Amino acid sequence: MPMTQKVVHIINVPLDLGASRRGTDGGPSAFRIAGLKRAIQSLGYEVADEIDISVPTLESRTPEDAKARFKNEILGVCLELAQRTRQTLEDGAMPLIIGGDHSIAMGSVSGMSAYFRDRQEKLGLLWFDAHGDMNLPESSPSGNIHGMPLAHLLGYGDKDLSSILGAHPAVAPENVALIGIRDIDRVERKFIHDSGVTAFTMHDIDRLGMSEVARQALEVVNDGTAGFHVSFDLDGCDPTVIPGTGTKVPGGVDFREAHFLLEECASDGRMLSLEMVELNPFLDHANVSAERAVTLVQSALGRSIL
């Protein structure tokens, strides 16, 4: 059942073990500096709790598996995040997860899924990203787990990563909408086609417009579900909008299109949780990406122009 109260729990996950480029561990700090908590409160929300998930540093670890680098460390972080996310729902609040690289979604979405599975309900998933994030350990060209989370949430890949809190699969493909993709690996392309998810590429956004893409995507994520989670990778936006990310791909979603999508999620009324990932403040310009990301969070939480 969608959240109707205005209570938010912020869960910070300063993880960068899933990426090849360092720096996303600074994402939560950049959001704090940009005034995230104050921005949420200005909309009438109560921030009832703010926690930080403990994350091991890369310097203290050596990857044991080249096909899924730092798997055990990422699994531990995702397990704690899943438990925290589920507890937030049990407390009657909305989880707002701040990353960190996109591998954290295996924890947040699995926690959401486990909560609703116990109530015989399903979860929808709106995945905003420049990339498909549907590589598998055996096919990934890099072994970086931040390129694999959606595949694992659909029940594929590594058995440990794909069954966190027993959520296997965490989401059904017919309730997943992938928006903004424009940089897909060769093997991953076929996997996306065969998976059953609904994918809207940048070509689709150019052809249909974000209004129609948002409408169709919301139909997908709400079809027979309790509501939906938004997993928002900031690299889905064009680099001119969000320069502070390590996986820049030109030709992305512009600032108003991103706001419109999240405004539509808010007005739909069935968004259950939100995460923002892949902010790298070390690549940013005077924290402008974090400041813009905070306004995107506000749009997802119902801020309107008038």
- Out of 3.10.25.10, 3.40.50.150, 3.40.800.10, 3.40.50.300, which CATH number does the structure's domain 7-300 have? 3.40.800.10
pLDDT tens string 18-50: 887 889 999 999 999 999 999 999 999 999 999
Q: 9, 101, 146, 188: which one is catalytic?
A: 146
For residue 46, what are the β-bridge partners? 7
Annotation marks residue 278 as catalytic? yes
Q: From CA 78, how far away is CA 103, in angstroms rounded?
A: 8
Annotation marks residue 131 as catalytic? yes
Q: For residue 58, what pLDDT is reported?
A: 72
Annotation marks residue 46 as catalytic? no
Residue 136 has what DSSP assignment? Answer: -
Q: For residue 1, what pLDDT is reported?
A: 41
Identify the three-state secondary structure at position 242: coil
Q: 9, 131, 229, 259: which one is catalytic?
A: 131
For the chain, give every domain's residue range. 7-300
Q: For residue 60, what pLDDT is reported?
A: 63
Q: For residue 69, what pLDDT is reported?
A: 86
Q: Say what the pTM is.
A: 0.96
pLDDT tier at 216, thresholds 50, 70, 90: very high
Annotation marks residue 101 as catalytic? no
Q: Could you identify the residue written with the tokens 């929300």? A: 45
Q: From CA 190, how far away is CA 251, in angstroms rounded?
A: 22
Annotation marks residue 229 as catalytic? no
pLDDT tens string 123-157: 999 999 999 999 999 888 888 899 999 999 999 99
Which stretches does DSSP call E strand in the chain? 7-13, 46-52, 94-99, 124-128, 176-181, 198-201, 228-233, 271-277
Q: From CA 18, how far away is CA 40, in angstroms rounded?
A: 28
CA dihedral defined by 110, 136, 213, 253, rounded to 10 degrees?
100
pLDDT tier at 5, thresholds 50, 70, 90: low
Averaged over 236-247, what is the pLDDT? 97
Annotation marks residue 102 as catalytic? yes
pLDDT tier at 68, thresholds 50, 70, 90: confident
Q: For residue 59, what pLDDT is reported?
A: 65
Cα atoms found within 13 Å of the Cα of residue 25, Cβ hemisphere only: 18
Contact (Cβ atoms closer than 8 angstroms) between residue 232 and residue 277: yes
Q: For residue 158, what pLDDT is reported?
A: 95
Q: Which are the contacts of 210, defined by CB distance < 8 A and separation ≥ 6?
A: 253, 257, 260, 261
Contact (Cβ atoms closer than 8 angstroms) between residue 294 and residue 96: no
Pick from 248, 266, 270, 254: nearest CA to 303: 266
Q: 9, 73, 102, 275: which one is catalytic?
A: 102
Q: From CA 272, how far away is CA 88, in angstroms rounded?
A: 11
